[in-house]
Structure 1
Amino acid sequence: MRTVRIGAGSGFSGDRIEPAVELAEHGGLRYLVFECLAERTIALAQLARRRDPEAGFDPLLAARMRAVLPACRRQGIRIVTNMGAANPLAAARRVAEVARGLGLHGLRIAAITGDDVTDRLRGTETALDEGGTVAALGNRLVSANAYIGAGSIAEALEAGAEVVVTGRVADPALFLGPLIREFGWAVDDWTRLGRGTVVGHLLECAGQVTGGYFADPGVKDVPDLARLGFPLAEVGEDGNALVTKVAGSGGRVTPATCKEQLLYEVHDPARYLQPDVVADFSGVKVEAAGEDAVRVTGGDGTPRTGSLKVSVGCHEGWFGEGQISYAGPGAVARGRLALDLVRERLGLIGHEAEEMRFDLIGMDSILGPGEGAPEPREVRVRVVGRCTSPEEAERIGHEVDSLYLNGPASGGGVTKAVREVIGIRSCLIPEDDVRPSLAWVEA
């Protein structure tokens, strides 16, 4: 049975670059996929594009392409990535610029657009999953991007694209597109599309399936994390796959790492809703097939729903934050006094905020107060609030800063920050309302 090898070059925007180079040079790949786009990432990219029409794509795009393009071109490896974010066409032009700088002339790059439905939804009564409508967001609406499927990726690859740059695509579809192109799977071959989605879901977070997010010292030990290798899958025409990594790279691939990733961000394993198929993970078998090799079989699928999820970004105000540290005897008591002082000061000056948090990092900032918990030797005070203006947000950091001379003894290491808050909502629209299209750029 014919197989194809496909590798995961990244699992998020800020991921390491070296493991992707390792895959390109030693993975024996046909395809290298970079998944870099989270919900909040694309909303922030839309803001960047508003400021600069040639911006709005992943900031590490050029560095990643510069690192892997020579090996990929030399070995005939095709690249698929959603690093186009809010501006796939500008991203494709940037890839071409990098390729020319490397002397890789004639490189064919496809940009997939059409996921941006902001103008189509603006002012409509489309219901948001969190309540309310898109119209109710008014001028707070920043972006609306539909999760499109694998079809356009397969089309671009069939037409000869060596690099495919997308915007908002369902994460598994980045891997499913190459498989559809390689094996000619029909758009209603639900079993194979479901199995291809299983493969995509296993690979989409890169180092998570090779032990990165899995590691827990003394409980789930993973070797050589500093040289963590990213995963690849050898996929057959039937959609079943062998998940592994480059020999000698750090980390490990085991049934346990694969099972954890298989269940990651999945609400109903029998109905994993995707734009191409409703994937069914409930019958998947995960079995060891040697060192750092896991056989994954038995996925299935049913017809897609006919609707597409839309990630809606909206302006939610401004975060103001201030932090200061206390150490030594009485650190916790001094930290709590600092929090009380800032809380009282903000009230005295008439500070207005939509919501506030007053935390001692290391004591109560994640799990809340713990009865009988031992007191640490040092604490970090954190005050953060969401405000309607940057000016109000800035006042929070100023009050923390003033603790240097007006608060408990021996505070130090103050940091202050003000940043825009982008909230994420979601809705559904008919798939027929979204029309992906291809644009071509050549180096």
Structure 2
Amino acid sequence: MTASSLSPLLIGCAAGFSGDRVDAAGAVVDTLIARGGPAFLIFETLAERTLALAQLRRRVDPDAGYEPLLDDMLRPVLARCLQHGIRIVSNFGAANPLAAARHIQRMAGELGLAQPRIAVVGGDDVSGESHRALLREQLGGLIDNIRMVSANAYIGAEAIAAALDAGAQIVVAGRVADPSLTVGPAMSHFGWRADDWDQLARATMAGHLLECGAQVCGGYFADPGYKEVPDLHALGYPIAEIDADGHCVITKAARTGGLVNLASVKEQLLYEVHDPAAYLTPDVVADISAAEIEQLGPDRVALRGVRGHARPASLKVNVCHEGGWLAEGEISYAGPRAEARARLAADVLRQRLQGLNLRVDLIGAMSIMGGDDGGLLAATAAGDARDVRLRVAATHTDRAQAERLAREVTALYCCGPAGGGGVRTSLTPRLNTLSCLVPREAVPAYFEMLGNLA
């Protein structure tokens, strides 16, 4: 059977980040079942630093380190997915894909289901000693002067496709590139080669539209009076219909709020794309400079005209390492001259905390627009805001120095301007990131079926 004779593939996305809504999958699965035909459910749960946080959890508990909401996300839909042949692909393995796979295995047993065939994709973790020389080649002496938390390469779709070809019903990965969660199922379903650049590029952009979950359906989009989104409280999550050439139609779960229109698709299509003619992924270099979108009907937008070029010779690696401490403190001022009192409190802190580079915000008067160095805030005359919360923050490699900020903000209760209250302080370990490129052949991806893993 040729690829062109195969049925279109439906891929629904039920998460766009770790901590996303856990009730999204139900409506997506209902829609996939009602539509019939070959279908996949994907969960995209890894942001750039999510892996480092997962690795820290794994240090404390060797059986942890995967998506904390895995059970809440998957348990409500697992039985229906398996019963209706909807296969599941996700990067919710994070720093511990094997533990995530075993958790799903236990979950299936608790639900009285036959054990699903689960594949674990690996090869992305390059934090071990065997990869130290590789990272040193790219980062030089920096790698020896940090306390590494995690190092992961963005691997592509081939291992996912191979696992599906081998019969996996569920594929659990760590750091694969977000669009690869869509490209892998499409490669397997249509039998594309690893150098079918146009098809891979089109599936990549379909995956790019899906990867942030509800964003393409009106989330992070609504702007009352300018961009109206109906029933935002009941926002639906997206579904891509992909044909044998990789062209796609984006729609959403039935009977849900939100929308899919030209504007929402354009915003997501350009999201995090630096060069529209060369969007780099591990699978392909996608070119959307001549792409066209068309509204086919309510909540149905087609994407065409994407071209592909040979994939990069290198893979991106993110190295997260310990970066000292973030100290934060807040106190509120209200009523007449509240802003002037908040500014006076900020001046007190600047005098008392010399040596710390403070970020100062007046929430309710000037915060986001103030700039990291507080320059605009300092140069702006006090207004008449009557409800102001002063926020100060600083980072330092020395915990004791960072702790000074919390003490001084607390002292404003009695040593600052009149009427301050509601103090809150926090001290948080900080993570910093280094990025580099490594030769593709130095980081081979692979999969193994859970039953074959010790």
TM-score, length-scaled by structure 1: 0.94
Give the Cα separation in 2 of the matches to 1:390 and 1:21.
45
The amino acid of 1:31's aligned partner reads: F
- Equivalent residue of 2:209, what SS? helix
- Equivalent residue of 1:39, what SS? coil
Q: Give the deviation of 1:329 after TM superposition.
A: 1.0
Aligned mate of 1:163, from 166, 170, 183 = 170
Q: Give the deviation of 1:140 after TM superposition.
A: 2.2
Q: Give the deviation of 1:209 after TM superposition.
A: 0.2
Number of the residue aligned with 2:219:
212
Q: Give the deviation of 1:149 after TM superposition.
A: 0.3
- Superposition RMSD in Å: 1.8
Give the Cα separation in 2 of the matches to 1:96 and 1:208.
31
Q: Give the deviation of 1:121 after TM superposition.
A: 4.0
- Whether 1:15 aligns to 2:20 is yes
Number of the residue aligned with 1:50:
59
Number of the residue aligned with 1:66:
75
Give the Cα separation in 2 of the matches to 1:134 and 1:16.
42
- Whether 1:435 aligns to 2:444 is yes
Q: Give the deviation of 1:135 after TM superposition.
A: 3.9
Deviations 1:222-275 (A, max 9, x none): 110000000101110011111101232100000111011000000001101111
Number of the residue aligned with 2:246:
239
Give the Cα separation in 1 of the matches to 2:79 and 2:382.
54
Number of the residue aligned with 2:132:
122
Q: Give the deviation of 1:395 after TM superposition.
A: 2.2
Distance 1:43 1:137, change over 3 A: farther
Task: Answer with 284-293 or 389-398: which moved more.
Answer: 389-398
- Whether 1:33 aligns to 2:35 is no
Number of the residue aligned with 1:3:
8
Q: Give the deviation of 1:191 after TM superposition.
A: 0.6
Number of the residue aligned with 1:361:
363
Q: Is the 8 A contact 2:339 2:382 kept in 1?
A: no
Deviations 1:348-393 (A, max 9, x none): xxxx54x321221233321124768964321111111111133332
Deviations 1:93-148 (A, max 9, x none): 111122211112311211111101122443653335xxxx3644524222210000
Task: Answer with 143-152 or 431-440: which moved more.
Answer: 431-440
Q: Give the deviation of 1:48 after TM superposition.
A: 1.8
Distance 1:378 1:108, change over 3 A: same
Give the Cα separation in 1 of the matches to 2:331 and 2:208.
41
- Whether 1:182 aligns to 2:189 is yes
Q: Is the 8 A contact 1:171 1:204 kept in 2?
A: yes
- Equivalent residue of 1:267, what SS? coil
Give the Cα separation in 2 of the matches to 1:122 and 1:396.
37
Number of the residue aligned with 2:156:
149
- Equivalent residue of 1:33, what SS? strand
Number of aligned residues: 434
Aligned mate of 1:304, from 290, 303, 311 = 311
Give the Cα separation in 2 of the matches to 1:171 and 1:34.
10
Q: Is the 8 A contact 1:322 1:383 kept in 2?
A: yes
Matches within 5 A, 1:196-345: 196-345=203-352
Give the Cα separation in 1 of the matches to 2:185 and 2:233.
30
Task: Answer with 102-111 or 77-86: which moved more.
Answer: 102-111
- Equivalent residue of 1:402, what SS? helix
Number of the residue aligned with 1:401:
410
- Equivalent residue of 2:358, what SS? strand
Q: Is the 8 A contact 1:121 1:134 kept in 2?
A: no
Deviations 1:60-102 (A, max 9, x none): 1121111221221222111111111111111111111222111
- Equivalent residue of 1:27, what SS? helix
Q: Is the 8 A contact 2:340 2:382 kept in 1?
A: no
- Equivalent residue of 2:164, what SS? helix
Distance 1:185 1:144, change over 3 A: same
> What fraction of aligned residue pairs are identical, expressed as a percent?
52
Q: Give the deviation of 1:406 after TM superposition.
A: 1.8
- Whether 1:412 aligns to 2:421 is yes
Q: Is the 8 A contact 1:126 1:427 kept in 2?
A: no
The amino acid of 1:27's aligned partner reads: L
- Equivalent residue of 1:382, what SS? strand
Number of the residue aligned with 2:119:
110
The amino acid of 2:174's aligned partner reads: G
Q: Is the 8 A contact 2:340 2:383 kept in 1?
A: no
- Equivalent residue of 1:118, what SS? coil
The amino acid of 2:399's aligned partner reads: P
The amino acid of 2:136's aligned partner reads: E
Q: Give the deviation of 1:328 after TM superposition.
A: 1.2
Give the Cα separation in 1 of the matches to 2:382 and 2:275.
37
Q: Is the 8 A contact 1:137 1:314 kept in 2?
A: no
Q: Any gaps of 5 or more consecutive residues in structure 1?
A: none
TM-score, length-scaled by structure 2: 0.92
Q: Give the deviation of 1:8 after TM superposition.
A: 0.8
The amino acid of 1:21's aligned partner reads: G
The amino acid of 1:356's aligned partner reads: L
The amino acid of 1:405's aligned partner reads: C
Q: Is the 8 A contact 1:27 1:245 kept in 2?
A: no
Q: Is the 8 A contact 1:188 1:303 kept in 2?
A: yes
Aligned mate of 1:83, from 88, 92, 100 = 92
Q: Is the 8 A contact 1:108 1:441 kept in 2?
A: yes
Give the Cα separation in 2 of the matches to 1:248 and 1:25.
10
Matches within 5 A, 1:365-384: 365-368=367-370, 369=376, 375-384=384-393
